[in-house]
Amino acid sequence: MPFDFNGKKVLVTGAGGGIGRALAIALNEAGCKVYALSRTKSTLDSLVAEHPKIVPIIADVSNWNDTRRKLEDLEPLDGLVNNAGILEEMCPAIDCPKDNIVTVLNTNLLGAINCAQVVAKKMIDSKVKGSIVNISSVAGIGAFPTNLSYNVSKAGLDMVTKQFALELGPYQIRVNSVNPTLVMTPLVTNLKEGLAYEKVFNARTPMSRVAKVEEIVGPILYLLSDYSSMVSGQMHPVDGGLLSNIAVKV
CATH of the domain at 47: 3.40.50.720
Average confidence (pLDDT) over 69-74: 97
* End-to-end alpha carbon distance in the chain: 38
pLDDT at 197: 77
Instruction: Give the range of the structural domain holding residue 25, as residue numbers without chain letter.
Output: 9-182+212-244
Residue 160 has pLDDT above 70, yes or no: yes
The verdict on residue 70 lying in a domain is: yes
pLDDT at 198: 84
Catalytic residue among 9, 33, 35, 150: 150
The verdict on residue 201 lying in a domain is: no
**Strand 33-38 with 9-13, pairing:** parallel
Per residue in 21-31, pLDDT tens?
999 999 999 99
Per residue in 83-126, pLDDT tens?
999 999 899 999 999 999 999 999 999 999 999 999 999 999 99
- Residues of the chain with pLDDT > 70: what percent? 94
User: Which of helix, strand or coil describes residue 80?
Assistant: strand
Q: Is 62 exposed, middle or buried (0-12, 13-18, 19+ CB in 10 A)?
A: buried
The verdict on residue 178 lying in a domain is: yes
- Residue 225 is classified by DSSP as S
The verdict on residue 191 lying in a domain is: no
Amino acid at 106: N
Residue 70 has pLDDT above 60, yes or no: yes
Of residues 163 and 199, more confidence is placed in: 163
The b-or-e profile of 153-181 (16+ CB within 10 A means b, else e) is bbbbbbebbbebbeebeeeebbbbbbbbb
Domain total in the chain: 1
CA distances from 185 to 85, 163, 182, 194, 214 (A): 12, 29, 9, 10, 11
The verdict on residue 97 lying in a domain is: yes
Catalytic residue among 154, 171, 192, 249: 154
Amino acid at 192: K
Q: Would you call 154 a catalytic residue per the annotation? A: yes
Per residue in 94-105, pLDDT tens?
999 999 999 999
pLDDT at 153: 98
Amino acid at 145: P
pLDDT at 10: 99
Per residue in 1-58, pLDDT tens?
689 999 999 999 999 999 999 999 999 999 999 999 999 999 999 999 999 999 999 9
The verdict on residue 160 lying in a domain is: yes
- Residues of the chain with pLDDT > 90: what percent? 86
Binning pLDDT at 50, 70 and 90, where does residue 196 land?
confident
pLDDT at 248: 65
Binning pLDDT at 50, 70 and 90, where does residue 250 land?
low
The verdict on residue 239 lying in a domain is: yes
Q: Would you call 35 a catalytic residue per the annotation? A: no
The verdict on residue 250 lying in a domain is: no
